[in-house]
Structure 1
Amino acid sequence: MNSNLRRVVLALTVLIGAYVGIWGYVVPDAFYTSFPGFGLHWIDIDGPFNEHLIRDVGSLYIALGAGSLVAIFTRTAMPGRVMGVVWFVFGVLHFGYHVLHPEGTTLDVVGSIVSLGVSALVGVVLMLPLEPHADRAGTSPSSAPGRA
């Protein structure tokens, strides 16, 4: 069974995917000069504008968000756990790059590393069973045969 907690965390990943993905895909030039917003600049400090690359990143985030959205509406936990693996692997690799290549102001560096670390940890949360009363067959005691 898919837990409410997993659905909430998946909804968070849908929002992350939509925020980064739609902005990067639809208006790549604004994404390049202004991401993540709030007066910070995490992209334009790292080299020349490349519309293809930014639209690809936008597409990636939209796809991640779409996978999470589908997982929200499934009855079983497995799609959400798979999306946890996907978000975790992407998050760790993305986090690792930024740890090894810090650029920008201290606020930019700290902001990007913290946000990417949280994104990777969200993947860990999604991978967890999140069903403390589930048995090895994947059913909770309340849903076992013969229980009301």
Structure 2
Amino acid sequence: MSIKRFSAAFLASVAAVVGIWAGFFPLSFHEFFPFPGWGWVSRLGPYNEHLVRDYGLSNLALLIFTVWVFRKPTTESLKVLGGGWLVYSSFHFLWHMFHLAAFPIWSRIGAVFSLALILVFSILPMIPERKKA
């Protein structure tokens, strides 16, 4: 499997977990994401069912597109996939970087690492192929 298809599989996995959890179980997502006892979302403000569901269902929309590209990868579709994820994940990453004070140190490290990982996997599908000699 190429790194570009692996990136799509990774991004699809993230979108599926977050999308199903936040979209269909928003209170649980708000209180327990990423693991019980950590409460990353609940540390950022009061519960808002509409906001959490919208976030989850937006991830499910990304999941549909990501799975489609994974199944039928072309140079163009991989670039569009990476671009879409990059727009989404870069703004998500930046927002959280300005709100790290709400977290203890290990949660700060986990948030920065996990959000940066999604950024990296968003960029990989857009890297041009090397010309073969």
Q: Select which of 24, 27, 30 maps to 2:28.
A: 30
As a proportion of its length, which structure holds more helix?
A: 2
Q: Cα distance 1:38–1:126, how it changes in 2: closer, same or farther (>3 A)?
A: farther
Show CA shifts across 1:49-91 (max 9, x none).
0000000000111111111100012142211211101111111
Q: Using CA pairs below 8 Å that are at least 6 residues apart, which structure has the higher relative contact order?
A: 2
Offset of 1:5 from its aligned partner? 2.3
Do the aligned partners of 2:15 and 2:62 also contact (CA within 8 Å) in 1? Answer: yes
Paired AA for residue 120 in structure 2: L
Q: Select which of 64, 68, 78 maps to 2:66.
A: 68
Same amino acid, percent of matched pairs: 30
Q: How does 1:1-148 map to 2 (within 5 A)?
A: 4-37=2-35, 39-102=37-100, 103-129=102-128, 131-133=129-131
Q: Cα distance 1:75–1:64, how it changes in 2: closer, same or farther (>3 A)?
A: closer
Do the aligned partners of 1:24 and 1:57 also contact (CA within 8 Å) in 2? Answer: yes
Instruction: Give 5+ residue unaligned stretches, structure 1.
Output: 135-140, 142-148
Q: TM-score, normalised by structure 2?
A: 0.91
Runs in 1 of length 4+ with deviation above 3 angstroms?
none
Q: Which moved more, 1:102-111 or 1:44-53?
A: 102-111
Do the aligned partners of 2:5 and 2:73 also contact (CA within 8 Å) in 1? Answer: no
Q: How many residues align?
A: 132
Show CA shifts across 1:83-126 (max 9, x none).
10111111111111111111221111111111111111111111
RMSD: 1.6
CA distance in 2, matches of 1:75, 1:118: 21
CA distance in 2, matches of 1:54, 1:76: 33
| SS of corresponding position for 1:39 | coil
